[in-house]
Amino acid sequence: MEIATSFGTAADAYERARPGYPAAAIEWLLPRPGALVLDVGAGTGKLTAQLARAGHAVRAVDPDPTMLATLARRLPSVATSVGTAENLPVDDLSVDAVTFGQSWHWVDPTAASREAARVLRPGGRIGLFWNIRDETVPWVRELSGIMHSSAAERLLTEGMPEIGAPFRALAHATWEWTATLTIEGLMDLAASRSDVIAMHDDERERVLAEVGALGARVATADGDILMPYRTHAFRAMLA
């Protein structure tokens, strides 16, 4: 199974458990409504939905038809296309922004940058977004030890993401916030991760059981689990 296109096997868990993004992060990339945005690696539409709510016209692209089918059920007014960052299914000079929510770490940055530049209009921009759990919190660090680090977490630990010509240096901003999950939601979060999806069934069941036990330990009396996140956003303008 190709890891980058494995998420469709856990599309429902992905949709239930993955968080959205702070509205301020969307505004930081696109301060005025009305942009035509290509959301690449859109998955089930977490970022797509927020871009649409912010007043932008959005087209969603993903290599996994199962993920796009989930997106289409949630967002029937959004056009969808199967495609990759390295081969975008749109014309030259046709969009104002190209976005990647939790997906740039799966792409070839040189080819994806060149392709984004092809489809952007003059003055267009590229935006990269990641939600990363705050592992300075002890139980969150314990959770990461059970699930293992993701490709995105490893990339951001090493520094700034790579971007190619013709884009210049990336601007970077972060937001800290908290999501509320249930124990089942925490298990869905684990089940939607590429490394867990790729496990053998018995190993996956063991990991999910450990995640559920941890969730039961840290949940409030009301059954809520407060997950601290740090959202990283990066942007670059087309010269």
Is pLDDT at 4 greater than 50 in this prediction?
Answer: no
- Bigger pLDDT: 127 vs 19: 127
Q: What are the tokens at 45?
A: 């539409």
Residue 186 phi, psi (nearest 5): -65, -40
Is pLDDT at 5 greater than 50 in this prediction?
Answer: no
Is pLDDT at 154 greater than 70 in this prediction?
Answer: yes
Looking at the DSSP bridge assignments, the partners of residue 229 are: 133, 177
Is pLDDT at 1 greater than 60 in this prediction?
Answer: no
Q: What percent of the chain has pLDDT over 90?
A: 81
pLDDT at 85: 98
Can you tell me the mean pLDDT for 89-117?
Answer: 97
Burial of 94: CB neighbours in 10 Å, binned 0-12, 13-18, 19+: middle
pLDDT at 6: 47
pLDDT at 128: 98
Q: What is the pLDDT of residues 117-133, one digit of tens each?
A: 999 999 999 999 999 99
pLDDT at 225: 97
> What does the H/E/C string look like for 177-194?
EEEEECHHHHHHHHHCCH
The span from the CA of 47 to the CA of 53, in Å, is: 10
Can you tell me the mean pLDDT for 128-145?
Answer: 95
Q: What is the mean pLDDT of the chain?
A: 92
Q: What is the pLDDT of residues 173-213, one digit of tens each?
A: 999 999 999 999 999 999 888 788 888 999 999 999 999 99
Amino acid at 64: D
pLDDT at 147: 87
**Could you tell me the pLDDT band of residue 10, with boundaries at 50, 70 and 90?**
low
Is pLDDT at 60 greater than 70 in this prediction?
Answer: yes
- Bigger pLDDT: 147 vs 97: 97
Can you tell me the mean pLDDT for 79-101?
Answer: 98
Can you tell me the mean pLDDT for 145-166?
Answer: 84
Contact assessment for residue 37 and residue 11, using Cβ atoms and an 8 Å cutoff: no
